[in-house]
Structure 1
Amino acid sequence: MMTALATVLDIQDDIVVVGCQQKSSCNHCSSKDSCGTGIVSKVLPGKVHHWAFHTDKKLTIGQMVEIGLPEKNLLQSAAIVYLVPLLFLLIGAFISDALISPLVGVGELTTIVVAALSSWGGYVLAKSLSHRIEQNTEQQVSLIRVLGEPVSDTISVNAAR
């Protein structure tokens, strides 16, 4: 089980909605200032994932919690997102090079276009499949432990006393 820190965003009866920001591995290497990926990760904010689950513990909005996510689903989703478009790209290039290009007679341009279109088709399929896995993962999120109140709220409460 993988763990993540999350903030309680909403509470409705015994259903808790938490949000955790997607972490990037950028900003951890020595070439982050000259790397294109590192520069883009500084400009674009991370995606916030929302999870809803049932709990009997009393939580308040803004509280930090640790949640558990099933590894199997996350690894399946990552494999689908990366491998399906790549597989479709290779299959499209092979089919075009072996069958379509000799018939049309244009050459490499046909292979490039067919490979790009098949890769896009793989992306659409991967997005659909990963969305299904994400819905299954949402049903398996569990609360591991409650970490406490955010630091800014604690300081303002102590200052008011």
Structure 2
Amino acid sequence: MLEEQALVVDKDSQGVWVETCRQSACQSCASKSSCGHSLLGKMSRGQTQRMLVKTHLDLEVGDQVMLGLSESAFLKGSALVYLLPLIAMIIMAIVGEQLFGADSWQSLALAASGLLIGFLFVRSYSKQHQLDPNYQPVVLRKLVVPNASVQKIPLSTL
């Protein structure tokens, strides 16, 4: 189960609205100075994503929660988004090469159309499955945040 911390920002009859802050693991990576993903992470730092999450817990605005998403849903979604358009592009590029030759603009146009078809399929699939509970995050638990206003009294003064 993949976990992410979130903040409850609103409640309604269908569940709670939570916000998560985009994070990346780039700070602990040795290749962060030469990686494109690190650059994207720096550009999106501080951006939040808001989503509706169904839950059976009694939560209030301001509560911090731990969200969870199954690894299989994450892997399926990642494969769909990243691999399918590339595979469609490669197949169409091979078809274009066989029909028109490797140096023709028609081959390039077929490859681009394969990529576009792949993206359109991903968009259609995601719209059809946006309410599928297998692809939805769930609230795993409410996080207990220590109260910062309570002062600690050293034992030596008692």
**Could you state the TM-score of these two structures normalised by the residue count of structure 1?**
0.74
Query: What is the DSSP-based 3-state SS (H/G/I as helix, E as strand, rest coil) of the residue aligned with 1:27?
Result: helix
Gaps of 5+ in 2: 152-158
Q: Which residue of 1 aligns with 2:3?
A: 3
Answer whether contact 1:52 1:138 (CA < 8 A) is retained: no
- The aligned runs of 1:88-103 (5 Å cut-off) are 88-99=88-99, 101=100
Aligned: 1:53 with 2:54: yes
- The aligned runs of 1:1-161 (5 Å cut-off) are 1-13=1-13, 15-45=15-45, 46=47, 48-55=49-56, 57-99=57-99, 101=100, 107-137=103-133, 140-149=136-145, 154-155=147-148
Distance 1:118 1:139, change over 3 A: closer
- Higher alpha-carbon deviation: 29-38 or 137-146: 137-146
Query: What is the DSSP-based 3-state SS (H/G/I as helix, E as strand, rest coil) of the residue aligned with 2:67?
Result: strand
Q: Which amino acid aligns with 2:106?
A: T
Distance 1:89 1:17, change over 3 A: same
Query: What is the DSSP-based 3-state SS (H/G/I as helix, E as strand, rest coil) of the residue aligned with 1:33?
Result: helix
- Higher alpha-carbon deviation: 116-125 or 65-74: 65-74
**Could you state the TM-score of these two structures normalised by the residue count of structure 2?**
0.76
Q: Which amino acid aligns with 1:63?
A: D
Query: What is the DSSP-based 3-state SS (H/G/I as helix, E as strand, rest coil) of the residue aligned with 2:109?
Result: helix
Q: In the TM superposition, what is the alpha-carbon distance from 1:87 to its structure 2 partner? A: 1.2
* In structure 2, distance between residues paired with 1:76 and 1:49: 22
Answer whether contact 1:84 1:122 (CA < 8 A) is retained: yes
Higher helix residue share:
1
CA RMSD of aligned residues (A): 2.8
* In structure 2, distance between residues paired with 1:8 and 1:116: 42
Deviation per CA, 1:7-28: give whole Å up to 9, x if none: 1111125722222234323233
- Higher alpha-carbon deviation: 114-123 or 14-23: 14-23
* In structure 2, distance between residues paired with 1:63 and 1:54: 13
Query: What is the DSSP-based 3-state SS (H/G/I as helix, E as strand, rest coil) of the residue aligned with 2:28?
Result: coil
* In structure 2, distance between residues paired with 1:79 and 1:11: 33
- Corresponding residue pairs, total: 150
Identity %: 26
Gaps of 5+ in 1: none
